[in-house]
């Protein structure tokens, strides 16, 4: 069940995951977002979000728990939002500090990218981070993302101004990195 | 009609949208020359013909916007609806996004520049805005030149933002910082 990689399985959220998610969100290091959120999220908030998710065949997002294959430990969460069907989506990831530097995050990214390109037929996948989060930039670059846009000094965090970074990977770039997979989806010409 | 701001050359005023703008909006937003650059709420097509009902819904969205505003650009002489200006700070009031649309029959009269400078003046002098940005389709060269002429800097792009006429098209990110605007503003106020 779920999406399987070398090190991880991306599976659905369960009730027993909620406290773990609270911990990730309230840790200012793992939160590592472009906008600092107050570390006061509660299990009740996450339960409400969990319970409000409706069944639908028309989905515009996906949210997964990252589970370590070998130990079944929860390592983080990865998601995609703002899905434009057959076109684009934005990705986000949070990994618990204990698993930093273990390859879990890269493997999770690769698993989700494969799903987005191979199953959802997207043309481009994007993510947003900021110039003060070099760990996130390097993580994304490991999967082939490149910095395409930099909104100058638009993030204020840790008392400093940073550039908001838009990173993306095109479908062709993904398949070039994975020659073992053939792309059967016809493309369009590049901008004339 | 409620007048909110006068353009600095008093050729236009920026007003709240009122119900009697709707018939003109229906005409102008369906103008062929505006296809692909209408800057409408996300759920409305930027390319397809818009029904009167859709225009009413767009008008309603604009007038009820909470984290931003949409204003009508009206000519001082004649009181005609010449365009619209959008501003969104849903993400962070530090970095709002703006869009200026001047309807084809009213272009090349300086209304866009006057409207944009009025809004920049408002944002930089009366809100926490530090970075004001916008997106321009890469095929919209007049729009890009307009932004650059108003002091915006090109800082990357969102690749494959859309398809247009059978080819991929990017959106170009432009932004201006409060410090840059202040310098430009002081220079222009020292001019003749």
CATH code of the domain in which A153 resides: 3.40.630.30
Round to whole Å and give the CA distance between A109 and B173: 26
Q: Is residue A190 part of a domain?
A: no
Q: What is the pLDDT of residue B187?
A: 57
Residue of A nearest to B96 (CA): A154
Q: Is residue A112 part of a domain?
A: yes
Q: What is the pLDDT of residue B188?
A: 53
Q: Does B138 touch chain A (CB under 8 A)?
A: yes
- The structural domains of chain B, with segments of one domain joined by +, span 3-191
Identify from B67, B89, B131 which residue to disrupt to test chain A contact, counting A C-beta atoms within 10 A and taking the largest count.
B131
Is ipTM beyond 0.85? yes
Residue of B nearest to A82 (CA): B42
Q: What is the pLDDT of residue A66?
A: 98
Q: Is residue A32 part of a domain?
A: yes
Q: What is the pLDDT of residue B192?
A: 40
Domain of residue A18, residue span: 3-177
* Contact between B131 and A147 using a beta-carbon 8 Å cutoff: no
Calculate how close chain A gets to B98, using CA atoms only, in Å: 14
Q: Is B19 exposed, middle or buried (0-12, 13-18, 19+ CB in 10 A)?
A: exposed
Calculate how close chain B gets to A71, using CA atoms only, in Å: 38
- Listed as ranges, residues in chain A with pLDDT below 70 are 32, 191-192
pTM value is: 0.92
Q: Is residue A24 part of a domain?
A: yes
What is B3-191's CATH number? 3.40.630.30
Q: What is the pLDDT of residue B158?
A: 97
Q: Is residue A184 part of a domain?
A: no
If one counts the domains in chain A, the total is 1
Q: Is A21 left (phi over 0), alpha (psi -120 to 50) or beta?
A: alpha
Calculate how close chain B gets to A151, using CA atoms only, in Å: 7
Q: Is residue A110 part of a domain?
A: yes
Q: What is the mean pLDDT of each run of 10 residues along chain B (192 residues)?
A: 62 93 96 94 92 97 94 92 94 94 95 94 94 97 96 96 92 97 70 40
């Amino acid at each position: 069940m779920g999406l399987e990689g070398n090190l991880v399985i991306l599976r659905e959220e369960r009730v027993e995951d909620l406290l773990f998610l609270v911990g990730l969100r309230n840790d200012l290091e793992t939160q590592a977002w472009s906008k600092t959120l107050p570390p006061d999220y509660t299990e009740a908030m996450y339960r409400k979000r969990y319970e409000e998710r409706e069944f639908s065949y028309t989905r515009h997002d996906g949210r997964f728990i990252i589970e370590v294959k070998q130990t079944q430990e929860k390592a983080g969460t990865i998601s995609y939002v703002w899905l434009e069907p057959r076109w684009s989506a934005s990705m986000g990831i949070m990994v618990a500090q204990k698993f930093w530097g273990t390859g879990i995050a890269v493997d999770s990214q690769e698993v989700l990218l494969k799903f987005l390109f191979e199953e959802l037929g997207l043309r481009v996948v994007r993510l947003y981070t900021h110039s003060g989060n070099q760990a996130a930039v390097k993580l994304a670059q490991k999967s082939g993302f490149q910095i395409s846009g930099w909104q100058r000094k638009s993030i204020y965090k840790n008392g400093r101004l940073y550039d908001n970074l838009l990173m993306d990977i095109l479908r062709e770039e993904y398949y070039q990195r994975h020659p073992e997979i053939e792309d059967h989806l016809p493309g369009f010409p590049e901008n004339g | 009609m409620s007048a909110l701001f006068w353009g600095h050359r008093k050729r236009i005023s920026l007003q709240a949208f009122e119900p009697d703008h709707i018939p003109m909006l229906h005409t102008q937003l369906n103008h062929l020359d505006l296809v692909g650059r209408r800057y409408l709420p996300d759920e409305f097509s930027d390319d397809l013909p818009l029904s009167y009902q859709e225009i009413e819904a767009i008008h309603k969205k604009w007038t009820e916007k909470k984290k931003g505003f949409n204003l009508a650009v009206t000519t001082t002489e004649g009181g005609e609806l010449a365009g619209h200006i959008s501003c969104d700070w849903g993400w962070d009031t530090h970095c709002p996004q703006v869009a200026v649309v001047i309807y084809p029959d009213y272009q090349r009269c300086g209304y866009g520049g006057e409207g944009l400078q009025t809004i920049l003046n408002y944002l930089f002098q009366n809100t926490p805005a530090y970075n004001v940005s916008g997106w321009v389709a890469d095929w919209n060269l007049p729009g890009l030149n307009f932004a650059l002429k108003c002091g915006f800097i090109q800082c990357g792009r969102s690749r494959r933002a859309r398809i247009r006429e059978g080819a991929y098209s990017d959106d170009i990110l432009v932004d201006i910082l409060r410090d840059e605007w202040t310098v430009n503003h002081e220079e222009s106020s020292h001019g003749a």
